Structure 1
């Protein structure tokens, strides 16, 4: 075939494309080399060879970062599509051998890190040759990964409604008010939110799915965020609440992993905030055999609860 001959003549290799994608994702030869466990000169040489074989300029440098040119962006998208096809082929072949090998790439919003690892660990024990990749980020960061189609599965508490995606209910994720053990209102029933106005409210940063859900809830109920203080992680919020800096609204699943002996859930009226987690994938993306097997594993675990 003519196209095969042309591609072979250019001597473009899968390894060169893999290195190219690494540089495109990290916007840096140095960071890509570290992630790929290669020497920096090796990465630079392979990018130069790929550029030469394709006859195009792949990157331009702005400040200290590298950005794909328009042509480079086309090569990046094609390379991702190519690797996706090859991954699916590998997994289909693996299915014939009883799901013995394959990859599973999952990106989740921060609160779901308390949920997914147990399932993923059990699944990988069952299929030890499966290679998992697990990314954690706030809502904005995971949306960026979704837009770039970097993973097989995404978990959101509030899936973006402006993207061409499909969402399926995973499990409930109620948001509760927490305070330090011994809080004066700890044993009171039906606390009214206004009774907490003197408290600092420790809240996740803009871009967080938890903050998005909280702001929606407060707007719907005409409530005011009391003295909000932005803190960038659930761990930091936990430590701050334990130190008496204020109260917080977090996932009940997160509370269960936050030294529950030192923190308590306050019985506030209108709480918990109803919230859920969802499986999310781009529309048209086909689930690989590994993804289907993992989702079936999770479904089985949830039914057994």
Structure 2
């Protein structure tokens, strides 16, 4: 190893990571409670130790050089190990502490808080950092190792990943109760194609799963309306703008109170599994490993928890 690299300080790397995240010296200075010249000095010293520039400006935008990308990945490992050390030292005192950084696809965001609450009953001193993403964003976060773990369906086969399926994610067709299709006792996917279909944005896992399945079944929708979230889809269906194919977990309340009807489509529900995922070979922090082990060891209890979640959702609906 070059001796110059041994002279890098954790403070310099912290400043560097802030610049990477903020894509700005001035915003990094604000985040780190430093002056902008102090940030510039730390980066300049780091560049001298590395022997290569870390950032390029093109116009007014800051870009990471190849050397910066390499240093950023190494810094993820360094700070990940330090965080793990902190957790391990805490474990030696007899309790698991730390933060779980968890990214979840939007189809899972209704149930996962309940799953984490069950986990926290065993580990009450663990906190949660939760970010909700679509499928495309989840893949990008996996490739850059942004999170401890991800919850997603349709795990990509072209990446080296460890994944554990733990719960079904049924996708159903829904319509308002006054819709003509709601009066039918039996429908096919082809029957739905005569009506406008509300779909998610490009990059959504639910959209991709539904498109692939409909193509497989040769059910082609000529009239589609794109909406950027499940909440938006749901509201558009309630407003009478069309029908939608949505995860059942996302519309439990509306189904329970009668605001939406699940259409009796013979080819549905389309069932995919939620999986907990991380890059193969990734070193998991004690908190992340504990959560992964919890999911692996409690799959039958997780199914019961999902049923309780559905029952609680129905029970919280006001009587008509």
State if a TM-score over 0.5 links the two structures.
yes
Instruction: Choose from 63, 66, 71 the match for 2:67.
Output: 71
- 1:151-300 matches, within 5 Å, as 151-257=147-253, 260-261=256-257, 262-298=259-295, 299-300=297-298
- Structure 2: 5+ residue runs without aligned partners? 306-320
Q: Quick check: 1:59–1:72 contact (8 Å CA) kept in 2?
A: yes
Q: Quick check: 1:110–1:138 contact (8 Å CA) kept in 2?
A: yes
Aligned length: 300
The alpha-carbon distance between structure 1 residues 64 and 250, as it changes in their structure 2 partners (threshold 3 A), is: farther
Alignment RMSD: 2.5
Q: Quick check: 1:196–1:226 contact (8 Å CA) kept in 2?
A: no
Q: Distance in 1 between matches of 2:54 and 2:223?
A: 49
Please give the TM-score of this superposition, normalised by the length of structure 1.
0.87
Aligned to 1:59: 55
The alpha-carbon distance between structure 1 residues 61 and 197, as it changes in their structure 2 partners (threshold 3 A), is: same
The answer to whether the aligner puts 1:21 opposite 2:17 as a matched pair is: yes
Which piece of structure 1 moves more, 276-285 or 45-54? 45-54
Q: Distance in 2 between matches of 1:20 and 1:122?
A: 37
The answer to whether the aligner puts 1:116 opposite 2:116 as a matched pair is: no
Aligned to 1:146: 142
Q: Distance in 1 between matches of 2:199 and 2:39?
A: 41
Q: Distance in 2 between matches of 1:234 and 1:129?
A: 32
Q: Distance in 2 between matches of 1:171 and 1:144?
A: 23
What per-residue deviation string (whole Å, max 9, x for no partner) do you get for residues 118-139 of structure 1? 2224544654543422121111
- Structure 1: 5+ residue runs without aligned partners? none
Q: Distance in 2 between matches of 1:244 and 1:135?
A: 31
Q: Quick check: 1:99–1:290 contact (8 Å CA) kept in 2?
A: no
1:101 offset after TM fit, Å? 2.0
What per-residue deviation string (whole Å, max 9, x for no partner) do you get for residues 5-58 of structure 1? 7556x3x33233233223223433455556x46467254454344334444311
Please give the TM-score of this superposition, normalised by the length of structure 2.
0.84
The alpha-carbon distance between structure 1 residues 168 and 114, as it changes in their structure 2 partners (threshold 3 A), is: same
Q: Distance in 2 between matches of 1:40 and 1:87?
A: 27
Q: Distance in 1 between matches of 2:173 and 2:67?
A: 50
The alpha-carbon distance between structure 1 residues 39 and 112, as it changes in their structure 2 partners (threshold 3 A), is: farther
SS of the residue corresponding to residue 157 of structure 2 reads coil
SS of the residue corresponding to residue 189 of structure 1 reads coil
Q: Distance in 2 between matches of 1:133 and 1:33?
A: 24
Q: Distance in 2 between matches of 1:40 and 1:118?
A: 43
The answer to whether the aligner puts 1:302 opposite 2:302 as a matched pair is: yes
Q: Distance in 2 between matches of 1:186 and 1:195?
A: 12
Q: Quick check: 1:91–1:99 contact (8 Å CA) kept in 2?
A: no
SS of the residue corresponding to residue 150 of structure 1 reads coil
Q: Distance in 1 between matches of 2:282 and 2:197?
A: 40
Q: Distance in 1 between matches of 2:226 and 2:130?
A: 26
Q: Distance in 2 between matches of 1:269 and 1:65?
A: 53
